[in-house]
Homo-oligomer: A and B are copies of this chain.
C-alpha cells in the first residue's frame, strides 16, 4: 500500500508552525493550510484529526490552538516522512557510487528489492528513471548492466557541460542591459562575497550557491534539454560529493573565487573574457572530479 509519508511530513510541519507561532489562535482554514503545506485538503484534515485526537488542539471550536505544549515526542520520526522512492534512490545511489560496485556489474532487481526491503516495482522505476544518466543499460527480459561511474563517464559529462555552459554564458553576456537577470546576477555576486568572508565555517553553503549560479546563467536563453542535462549534473554531484568530503573547504574556496571572476566577466559584457573565465572554472571542476574518482576517500 501507499506510504503515508505525505501525511506524516505534513503533520510534523504543522507542529513546527505551531511551535514557531506561525499558526495563531483562530486556526487558518483548511484551504489556507493546504496551500501553505502544498498538500491536498484530504491530508490536512487527517492532520487536524490527529492533532485533535492527541489533544494538541481542541476540535470543536478550533479556537484553542495549543491545548497543550507540543512535545518532541509528538513528531513522527524522520525516516517515516521520507517517500519510498527517495528512500530507494538514496540506497541505490549509495550502492552504485559509493560501494565497490564494479563497472559491468549485473543488476538483479529481485535481489536489490530484498536487500532494501521494498517491492521490485520500486527498483524498476528507479532504474528506468536513472537510465537516462548514462550509467545503466537495460537488456530486455534479462537485467541491467551498471556501466560504472568511471573517468570516461566524467569526461563525457564534462564535454557536454562545457559546450552548454559556454553557449549559455555567451547568450547571457549578450543580453540587453534592461534584462532583470543582471540584477539577479548582482545579488548573486554579493552572496558570493558574503560567503567568501565566512568561508571558514560556512563552506557547506557553496553547493546551493553553485547551483543557483549555473541555473541563472541558463535562464537568459532557456532550453529544456540543457535544463535536463543540468539536472543530471546536479544529481550526480549531489551524491558524489556527499560521500567525498576530502578537501571540501579548499575546493569550495577555489570555486568561489572562480565564480567571482566568471561573474565579473559576465558583467563586463566582454565575450572573450567570459569564455576564458567560464572555461577556467569548468576545467578546474573537471580536475576536481577526476581526482576524486581516481583517489576515492
Which B residue's beta carbon lies closest to that of A137?
B224
The verdict on A160 contacting chain B, using a C-beta distance below 8 Å, is: yes
Nearest CB in chain B: distance from A187 CB, A: 28
Which B residue's beta carbon lies closest to that of A227?
B134
Question: Quick check: which of A121-129, A240-248, A249-257 contacts chain B, the rest being far away?
Answer: A121-129
Which of B83, B121, B141, B225 contacts A134, CB < 8 Å? B225
Q: Is B128 a contact partner of A224 (Cβ separation < 8 A)?
A: no
The verdict on A156 contacting chain B, using a C-beta distance below 8 Å, is: yes
Which of B153, B159, B224 contacts A156, CB < 8 Å? B224
The verdict on A167 contacting chain B, using a C-beta distance below 8 Å, is: yes
Given the interface contacts A157-B225, A225-B229, does A132 sit within 8 Å of B134 by beta carbon? no
Nearest CB in chain B: distance from A168 CB, A: 11
The verdict on A6 contacting chain B, using a C-beta distance below 8 Å, is: yes
A128 to B125, CA, bound (A): 7
Q: Which residues of B contact A294 (CB under 8 A)?
A: none
Which of B125, B156, B226 contacts A160, CB < 8 Å? B226
A224 to B228, CA, bound (A): 15
Which residues of chain A from 112 to 158 have a CB within 8 Å of any chain B CB? Answer: 121, 124-125, 128-129, 131-132, 134, 140-141, 153, 156-157
Nearest CB in chain B: distance from A231 CB, A: 10
Which residues of chain A from 171 to 223 have a CB within 8 Å of any chain B CB? Answer: 223
Which of B129, B132, B153, B226 contacts A228, CB < 8 Å? B132
The verdict on A163 contacting chain B, using a C-beta distance below 8 Å, is: yes
Which of B6, B224, B228 contacts A141, CB < 8 Å? B6
Nearest CB in chain B: distance from A66 CB, A: 30
Q: Which residues of B contact A131 (CB under 8 A)?
A: 129
